Amino acid sequence: MYTEDIIRRVRDSVDIYDVVSGYVSLKKAGKNWLGLCPFHSEKTPSFNVNPGKQIFHCFGCGVGGDAFKFLELQEGLNFPEAVKHLAGRAGITLPESRPRADEKKSDDERKALLKITAEAADYFRSELEGPAGSAARAYLAKRGLTESIIRDFALGFARPEWDGLLKHLRQKGHAPALLEKAGLIVKRSEGEGHYDRFRGRIIFPIRDISGQVIAFGGRVMDDSLPKYLNSPETPLYSKSNVLYCLDQAKEPARKQGYFIIVEGYLDAIACHQYGAKNAVATLGTALTDGHLRLMRRFAQKLMLIFDPDPAGVKATLRGFELFAGSGMKVNVVSLPDGDDPDTFLKNKGYDAFAACLRGSAKFMDFVLAQVVKDGAAASIDEKVEREAEMLGFITRLPSGIEQDHYLKKTAEALNVDEVTLRQDLAKQRTAHTGPRERTGEKIAERKGHRPKAEEMLVHLMLRDENIARELSGQLTAQDFTDPLLQRAVKRIFDQLERSASLDLRLMQVEGDEELNRILTHYSVRELDWENESNSSEKEESKNKSIRDCVTLIKQHDPERQIKDIIKAIREADEKGDREESQRLLELQRDLSKRPGRSIPGHGPGRSWS
């Protein structure tokens, strides 16, 4: 990792407009530059770049940050890689890092393994192109793969012999121990020596997100088993965190706004060959959270090609928990006659495939159709079972609107009383409710919007550093009742204490995307009066808004909080809970001491000047 000084030098040497405009067509819009967001599909521009603050924010999908963040998202880089990229752009020479001995050993091993897998891929490809690969080429042609797609995916062939690859790589000076670690050879169970893992198979190189070969898959050309054989888990390869074709599909998926998920190598390759270049495939495993994290960097929607056999239905339903908590939109695509994408595309073509994508079902609609497929004709016992199963899905939906929608649809599908269904849902919710939050720990109520006065002041402080400095002497972060706005204010005030200026780029918190998004949102968003031509009217509008917001925050919320706390103190005293009573008394004293409060028994606080 680079030092803060190096990161600051790089950050200050690049202009975010220059960086972003290399990817996005931007037009001037007030103090910002406006364009179509590269991170989600949209027709009306909502992607803003603010050169003054050196940040970007999209009001459509909510993503935002500095030049480093933009490059991480756009190119799929990690933070050190983004720093290195922008340093090169700015002509800054980065110091060579001096990793610890164990880190250097691990890094050296990784480089060696990557070299081995790259050379193995070259070997397999040359074998396919040579005399030994004639049968494999004929097989691929019979499967409908063109020569260009075979080259694009660098397909190869492993001869049906025991040590062809082993001999080749040993001649290049690679030790058997590293070849085994790369998953390319297997130690003999009896005696000494090794043999090739892949023999007599079509070879599919598996690449990481940046396009480096990290593993392989092999497929037989007859009916022998196993049909598919994949590399084992290695220091380079973890099947739960790698998707086949992701390196080629990420940009098409970003432009189209979604990924197509299929199961096999040939299905994914067929999608790409026929024009669905946003397709990826899992590698012998169900979708994982690691897979979703990878795809979420490029698109927020998934099209899941559904396998209609019973095992496929169960596998798809098992993905509910994963999808429900991912924040991604998921649709399920059913191909006619149970065809797989490879067969369907060869027989019907891309237009028919695209029509199936357009006719896809929302994941929850798919769940409903599968669970209550017998519908009103089911017996009473079956209806009870189906209702319980559906309620199990509905309670895990994050949106109350969605829950309400699918309650109604379930009642209709089973021909049962909706009121009864809602009563049963309430019982399930009660059974799964966690411990009650203690009074005072959650003062802000869960509403559909944030407190307007608090929102306005955060907006003002992020747009004008002088306002932030003035308010830091009048309010504290604890005066704000919304938890996220409270964190934002704390971040603003902390930055003012540490630095002479309010640099939003230094306020970004690694791992706290919710906070980062709200900071960039209000920093980029213009205020109504900023477009007023009369400077005195503009100043008057601003000052009036500030006074009104401060007054509201100081005089309204604390009284409600203190009333709640006093009530809770009485309850704690009645229960004999001295520890809880003491905690609440301290919280009450803290509220009473804050500036601007008119609390009985305490002097008046400072007023806005």
317 vs 267: CA distance, rounded Å = 21
What is the structure's pLDDT at 68?
92
* Same fold? 101-237, 241-368: no
CA geometry: angle 279, 231, 215, nearest 5 deg = 60
Higher pLDDT, 435 or 147: 147
Q: How confident is the model over 214-261, as pLDDT tens digits?
A: 999 999 999 899 999 999 999 999 998 899 999 999 989 988 989 999
Taking the C-alpha atoms of residue 41 and residue 26, their distance in angstroms, rounded to an integer, is 16
pLDDT of residue 531: 53
Q: Residues 457-461: what's their mean pLDDT?
A: 90
| Token pair belonging to 41 | 């599909």
Highest mean pLDDT (candidates 280-289, 420-429, 529-538): 280-289
Read off the pLDDT of each residue in 346-364 and give the average, rounded to a whole number.
Answer: 95
Structure tokens at 464: 């004008």
Looking at residue 564, its pLDDT comes to: 66
Class of domain 101-237: alpha beta
CA–CA distance, 7 with 188 (Å, rounded to integer): 50
In this structure, how many other beta carbons lie within 10 angstroms of the beta carbon of residue 502? 21
pLDDT at 445 over 50: no
Sign, CA dihedral 455-461-463-467, equals positive
Overall average pLDDT of the 468-474 stretch? 88
Question: Right CATH number for 241-368 from 3.20.20.80, 3.40.1360.10, 3.40.190.180, 3.30.70.60?
Answer: 3.40.1360.10
Mean pLDDT of the chain: 84
Question: Residue 444's pLDDT is what?
Answer: 33
The pLDDT of residue 133 is: 96
Separation of alpha carbons 446 and 431, rounded Å: 21
Q: Is the pLDDT of residue 607 over 60?
A: no
* Rounded CA separation 471/542 (Å): 13
Angle of helix 350-358 versus helix 265-274 axis, rounded to 10 = 110
CATH number listed for the domain at residues 452-593: 1.10.860
How many angstroms separate the CA atoms of 318 and 340, rounded? 20
Give me 256's structure tokens.
């189209």
Angle at 72 (CA atoms; ends 115, 284), nearest 5 degrees? 55
**What is the CATH number assigned to the segment(s) 4-90?**
3.90.580.10
Measured between alpha carbons, how far is 190 from 178 in angstroms, rounded to an integer?
A: 20
Phi, psi for 87 (deg, rounded to 5): -65, -45
Q: Give the CA radius of gyration of the chain.
A: 30
Q: Do residues 305 and 312 lie in contact, with contact meaning Cβ atoms separated by under 8 Å?
A: no
Sign of CA dihedral 415, 418, 422, 424: negative
Those residues whose C-beta lies under 8 Å from the C-beta of residue 244, and which sit 6 or more positions away, are 204, 206, 217, 265, 268, 280, 281, 282, 283
Residue type at 581 in one-letter notation: S
DSSP conformational letter for 210 = T
In this prediction, residue 533 carries a pLDDT of: 54
- In one-letter notation, the amino acid at residue 61 is C
Task: Report how far residue 423's alpha carbon sits from residue 429's, in angstroms, rounded to the nearest whole number.
Answer: 10
Strands 55-58 and 47-50: antiparallel
Mean pLDDT confidence for 495-521: 80
* Band of residue 121 on the pLDDT scale cut at 50, 70, 90: very high
Between 289 and 405, residue with greater pLDDT: 405
Give the span between the Cα atoms of 394 and 231, in whole angstroms. 39
Please state which of the ranges 396-405, 432-441, 487-496 shows the lowest mean pLDDT.
432-441
**DSSP characters over 33-75:** EEE--TTS--SS--EEEETTTTEEEETTT--EE-HHHHHHHHH
Of 97-111, 264-278, 341-355, which gets the smallest average pLDDT?
97-111
The pLDDT of residue 349 is above 50: yes
Ramachandran class of 154: left when φ > 0, alpha when ψ lies in -120 to 50, beta otherwise: left
Helix, strand, or coil (residue 154):
coil
User: Hey, which of 17-26, 340-349, 532-541 has the most confident mean pLDDT?
Assistant: 340-349
**Is the sign of the CA dihedral 487, 491, 492, 497 positive or negative?**
positive
CA distance 35 to 27: 6
Q: Where are the domains of the chain?
A: 4-90, 101-237, 241-368, 372-432, 452-593
For the chain, the distance separating the N- and C-terminal CA atoms, rounded to the nearest angstrom, is: 46
Number of helices and strands in the chain (H, E): 28, 16
Half-sphere exposure of 370 (CA within 13 A, CB side): 25
Name which residue leads in pLDDT, 445 or 51: 51
Q: What average pLDDT score do residues 581-600 get?
A: 60
pLDDT at residue 346, as a whole number: 95
Least confident of 107-121, 361-375, 462-476, 495-509: 495-509
Instruction: Write the pLDDT tens digit of every residue in 124-176.
Output: 999 999 999 999 999 999 999 999 999 999 999 999 999 999 999 999 999 99
pLDDT at 601: 29
Averaged pLDDT for residues 413-437: 73
- Residue 93 has a pLDDT of 82
- Does pLDDT of 435 surpass 50? no
Residue of 7, 72, 2 whose CA lies nearest to 39: 72
Q: How many CB atoms lie within 10 A of CB 454?
A: 24
